[in-house]
Amino acid sequence: MKAYRWVVRGVYAFFGVVIVAVVAFKVFQPVQVLPRVRLAPGFILVDQDGQPVTNEDMRGKVVLYAFFYTRCPGDCYGVISTLQAVQAQGPRIMGDIPFRIVLISVDPAHDTPEVLRAYAQRVGARPEVWIFATQPDPKRLKMLVGGGFNAYYDIQPDGSVRLDPHYVLVDGWGIVRGEYKYETLASTQERILRHLGVLAEEIRNSQGSAKLAYEAAHFFLCYAP
Amino acid sequence: MRNLSRGLWLGVGAVLLIVLGWWAWDRFRPYAFHGTVLQSAEPAFDFELQSADGPVRLSDFRGKVVLLYFGYTFCPDVCPTTLFEVQRTMELLGDDADQVQLIMISVDPARDTPERLKEYVQYFHPSFIGVTGSEDAIAEVATHYGIYYQKHEGTPATGYLVDHTATITVIDRKGYVKLVFPYGTPAEDMAADLAYLIRH
């Protein structure tokens, strides 16, 4: 009968280990991920060289989208300095994973490709990383920026623009993985750069047995702050 | 005799632990989907478009797994290839196929009438539905589902062609976007994922 008791204890121990392992995974979060928020919108835009740029061109690349207009005063609510920092550090963080910044103008009446190209040069954008673009049709632009990216902007009757700074991080499968709308204790720039690192780790480990750990992290909502 | 009994119990215990371990792994390991997974907190974008049998809303199909495909009836290769693969998926699903609804949304509303769409999609499977709408309505739905499309010149025989994203978006029974199948996903993989969504 002693042996029988050992078997029962063994079964209890087994379930105990499983439960402790699951709780430890959730509490200590050895693997963190970014949520798979929703599908990123489909689009066709015109870039600073007058060439079409589409969401299909961005497939397979990690892309940070942001919104601005060239007449926006100064640093445009911090958008330009944030993207300059992301341009400087993002490609190094991503390593061999293709990375792009797409900055979309919400003021197509003024921001022609020539204006965008001049602005890109002024802020030191590297064309292989940082693309400037817009959609000439204001209705389609509103559909994309407001409806697809959930970013707020409004063209006033006098032609001036109201804009809330907004950044959207999209993975190579066309899925939104991060949205940066509100300031927190950590700056937007810090959070974006940290999240690029988290996403790069997940992409590098998305094959083989490590993939299971990442899927478990999604299942248990182990999201990076 | 006593040693034999103890050995027997320990052997039974070892087998039991192996069986339990296997059961727990099989039961609790995350299912590895073949498609790209989403965990959207917002319901899928609802729409109302026109079929030959009247208006169709995405929300009409709550309770079924919906496959959204954007294509057009003049499509020379990608659309028929994809729809044949979904047809094969439906065959592989057997009785579960009636829990799945494919809706093809036209990216060529100028040429695809509701009647033409119905004839086209039902060639592949009698349950398939084809819908169309105004240019703006189609553009809005396509934007929300990450679909790019653009007309470009074809030949005099084909007329113009439409480049478009060729993914299939899967919406679960509660109305949330759950999966995206890239172009070329085999029917076996789609059927396995859809069967899992139907059962869970």
Q: Which residues of chain A make contact with B8, given a CB cutoff of 8 A?
A: 3
Instruction: Name which of A11, A42, A211 is nearest B20 (Cβ-Cβ).
Output: A11
Assign A27 a pLDDT band (cuts: 50, 70, 90): low
Residues B10 and B99 in one domain: no
Which residue of B15, B38, B141, B179 is the best one to mutate when testing the A interface, meaning the one whose CB has the most A CBs within 10 A? B38
CA–CA distances in Å: residue A59 to residues A42, A65, A177, A204, B161: 11, 14, 14, 17, 22
> Domains in chain B: how many in total?
2
Q: Residue A108 carries which DSSP code?
A: T
The position carrying tokens 């940082």 is: A130
Q: CATH number, domain at B100?
A: 3.40.30.10
Do B18 and B48 share a domain, yes or no?
no
Higher pLDDT, B17 or A137: A137
| Dihedral Cα A169, A173, A174, A178, nearest 10 deg | -20
Phi, psi (rounded to 5 degrees) for B110: -65, -35
Q: How many CB atoms lie within 10 A of CB A9?
A: 12
pLDDT single digits (tens) A36-62: 999 999 999 999 999 999 999 999 999
Q: Which stretches of B2-113 are DSSP H helices?
A: 2-28, 78-93
- Of chain B, the end-to-end C-alpha distance in Å amounts to 49
The 8-class DSSP code of residue A129 comes to: T
Contact A143 B17 (CB under 8 A): no
Could you tell me if B26 and B104 lie in one domain? no
Indicate whether B123 and B67 sit together in one domain: yes
SS3 of A193, please? helix
Chain B environment of A3 (Cβ under 8 Å): 5-6, 8-10, 13
Closest chain A residue to B147, measured at CA: A42
Handedness of CA B170, B174, B176, B178 (dihedral sign): negative
Report the b/e string of A137-154 with b at 16+ CB within 10 A. eeebbbbbbeebbbbebe
A89-124 burial string, b = 16+ CB within 10 Å, else e? ebbebbeebebbbbbbbbbbeebbbebbbebbeebe
Task: Tell me, yes or no, whether B25 and B42 share the same domain.
Answer: no
Residue A166 or residue B14, greater confidence: A166
Section B122-131 average pLDDT: 97
Question: Which amino acid is it at A150?
Answer: N
Which of helix, strand or coil describes residue B108?
Answer: coil
Same domain (yes/no): B179, B194: yes
- B-chain residues within 8 Å CB-CB of A37? 38, 40-41
Q: How confident is the model at residue B4 (pLDDT cuts 50, 70, 90)?
A: low
Contact flag B144-A139 (C-beta cutoff 8 Å): no
Q: What is the structure's pLDDT at A221?
A: 81
Give percent of chain B above pLDDT 90: 76
A–B interface: beta-carbon pairs under 8 A: 101
DSSP string, A40-52: PPP-EEEETTS-E
Higher-pLDDT residue of B81 and B5 is B81
Query: Distance (Å) from the C-alpha of residue B13 to the closest C-alpha of chain A?
Result: 5
Q: Which of A68, A93, A101, A78 is CA-nearest to residue A169?
A: A101
Please report which confidence band the pLDDT of residue B30 belongs to, taking 50, 70 and 90 as the band edges. low
User: Do B107 and B131 touch, CB atoms closer than 8 A?
Assistant: no
Same domain, B12 and B70: no
Mark yes or no for CB contact B148/A2 under 8 Å: no
Q: Which residues of A touch B13 (CB under 8 A)?
A: 3, 6-7, 10-11
What confidence category does residue A15 fall into, taking pLDDT thresholds of 50, 70 and 90?
confident
Say whether both B172 and B192 belong to one domain.
yes
Residues B191 and B116 in one domain: yes
- State whether B46 and B83 are in the same domain: yes
CB neighbourhood size of A8 (10 A): 11
Among residues B72, B59, B61, the alpha carbon closest in space to that of B104 is found at B72
Chain B contacts of A174, Cβ < 8 Å? 146, 180
pLDDT higher than 70, residue B151: yes
Q: Answer yes or no: do B13 and B44 share one domain.
A: no
Q: Collect all residues with Cβ–Cβ distance below 8 Å to B22 and sequence separation of at least 6.
A: none
Least Cα distance to A174 among B179, B54, B18, B26 occurs for: B179
Residue B63, pLDDT score? 95
Whole-number Å distance between alpha carbons of B103 and B92: 19
Residues B71 and B89 placed together within one structural domain of the fold: yes
Q: Mind telling me how many Å the CA of A74 is from chain B's nearest CA?
A: 32
> What is the domain extent for residue B9?
1-30
